[in-house]
Homo-oligomer: A and B are copies of this chain.
């Protein structure tokens, strides 16, 4: 991994000065073309050993580019708020819109490698973390993020010499701290572990470039050219979507039998037992969210999906009612804002993921990708087909961080839907206006049924299972929704 970087690369001053103007011009031209086309965003990941010139090189790179369109994120230890959310969330939050550039100094590699170096984790945990990283980076590149990953390297001898040199210089001495020498003692271990991490994440879609950090001119030219080349190649690539994978096969293709068929929609509950049951369940939910363990370690995400008029709104009300409004946020998923549309698909959901002790209820969710966007053709097969695993990955991040995920599909019959549509057309409330679109969606019921079947099949996981709710009777549905959420919380 580090063999080439230890060859002793050097660039003479004359060579450097001859080459820099061309690199700068390439960088600027590519940056402005990107800004105009908004074809993708550029994310530069910077890692490596202390003292290999990361900061200086990135500062210089930014001055070679137009600094107005580059954001450099020095990712120190997470803040208190950030610790309340899955570790990847703070990187999601900083993804740039298409057209712009973000540089991460300190990245999703830092904690897994450092934790392993200091033996806070075991080898398999590093491997798992790197697998998450591969997923994340694959998703980014498929969502039009160009990744350039730079690892700044110094050989052990170079590192030793550097620290000695700094210590001798009165003006630079402050730069060398005890931590630096402590890290130096761990050099071999750090080298071995980062080599492993780099090897496992040097993929075709996001390869690493190991940069020898010893010679400033060499590393500056190397980084400048690598970024210019990555930008130029991505700008020149055809902007057609990636070739569509085969549409994933469905177990229902042959006979049309779906997971919705076995549901007994005649299930119901009478008004009186409903009221007492509802009250009891709501009381339990209020208590569960005040439990000290929930407040300090857990959070809850509820995902509501279902056909139009399936009763999502009413069920959500019954869930939100007993909760302290200060800890509970209901997110209705509508068309993306332009800030959302300019970033990877899941960004607009990540921004609502709750911190410790909080509840977020999604009224429709990331599953739109494999439901409405699939059926209506808003997303090409290449996008919705890979969404299943992206979604599983998202939910894994949540659950691993102590966030409980309840996913509820509310099912009604076509006849009941029609009845509710007609009823709504009578009512005064504006939100209940039935639109042309609602009627059109109704005609696509068979396609939706298949899409729901595939969704359940592919995303009902051990960590975050789906619950199918017989919603023909609203009372029955609301009780089952509350029961499911309580069960999810007690898992």
Q: Is the CB of B430 within 8 A of A325?
A: no
Scan residues 18-65 of chain A and give those whose CB is less than 8 A from a CB of chain B. 25, 28-29, 32-33, 35-36, 55, 58-59, 62-63
Contact A320 B429, beta carbon cutoff 8 Å: no
Give every chain B residue within 8 A of A324 (Cβ-Cβ): 55, 59, 74
Nearest-neighbor residue (CB-CB) of A74 within chain B: B326
Is A316 on the interface with B (CB-CB < 8 A)? yes
CA distance A72 to B325 in the complex (A): 6
Are B339 and A68 in contact, with the CB atoms below 8 A? no
Contact of A325 with B68 at beta-carbon distance under 8 Å, contacts A32-B429, A32-B430, A337-B337 already known: no
Interface size on A, residues (CB 8 A): 49
Q: What are the residues of chain B within 8 A of A325 when measuring CB–CB?
A: 55, 58-59, 62, 67, 70, 72, 103
CB within 8 A of A68: which of B68, B313, B428? Answer: B313
Of chain B, the residue at the smallest CB distance from A334 is B68
Q: Closest CB of chain B to A27's CB: distance in Å?
A: 11
Given the known inter-chain contacts A67-B316, A79-B81, A337-B339, please indicate yes or no for A74 contacting B327, CB distance below 8 A.
yes
A337 to B313, CA, bound (A): 29
Within 8 A of B (CB), among A306-355: 313, 316-317, 320-321, 323-332, 337-339
Q: Are A68 and B363 in contact (CB under 8 A)?
A: yes
Number of copies: 2
Query: Within 8 Å CB of A328, what residues of B?
Result: 72
A192 interface residue, CB < 8 Å from B?
no
Interface residues of A in 104-159 (CB under 8 A from B): 105
A442 within 8 A of B: no
Most buried by B among A62, A74, A323, A363: A62
Q: Does A66 contact B (CB under 8 A)?
A: yes
Interface: A487 (CB within 8 A): no
- When the two chains form their complex, are residues B81 and A320 in contact, meaning their CB atoms are under 8 A apart? no
CA–CA, A363 and B67, complex, Å: 11
CA distance A32 to B73 in the complex (A): 41
- Could you give, for residues 416-456 of chain A, a 1 whenever the CB lies within 8 Å of some chain B CB and a 0 otherwise? 00000000000011110000000000000000000000000
In the complex, A25→B429 CA distance in Å? Answer: 8
Are B28 and A429 in contact, with the CB atoms below 8 A? yes
A253 at the B interface (CB under 8 A) = no
User: Which residue of B has the minimal Cβ distance to A72?
Assistant: B325
Q: Closest B-chain residue to A363, C-beta based?
A: B68
A69 interface contact, C-beta 8 A: yes
Whether A261 sits at the interface, judged by CB under 8 Å, is no
What chain B residues lie within 8 Å of A29 (beta carbons)?
Answer: 428-430
Inter-chain CA distance A35–B432, complex, in Å, is 13
Q: Please state if A326 and B72 are interface contacts (CB–CB under 8 Å).
A: yes
Q: How far is the CB of A456 from chain B (nearest CB, A)?
A: 25
CA distance A66 to B63 in the complex (A): 50
Once bound together, how far apart are the Cα atoms of A35 and B433, in whole Å? 13
Asked if A277 is at the interface of the complex by the 8 Å CB criterion, the answer is: no
A80: interface (CB < 8 Å) = yes
Q: Which 4 A-B pairs have the closest CB atoms?
A: A74-B326, A72-B325, A32-B430, A68-B332
> Can you pick out 29 interface pairs between chain A and chain B where the beta carbons lie within 8 Å of each other?
A25-B428, A28-B429, A29-B428, A29-B430, A32-B430, A33-B430, A35-B430, A35-B431, A55-B324, A58-B325, A59-B324, A62-B320, A63-B320, A66-B313, A66-B431, A67-B316, A67-B317, A68-B316, A68-B330, A70-B330, A71-B329, A73-B326, A79-B79, A80-B80, A81-B81, A103-B325, A337-B339, A338-B338, A338-B339
Q: A residues touching B (Cβ–Cβ < 8 Å)?
A: 25, 28-29, 32-33, 35-36, 55, 58-59, 62-63, 66-74, 79-81, 103, 105, 313, 316-317, 320-321, 323-332, 337-339, 363, 428-431
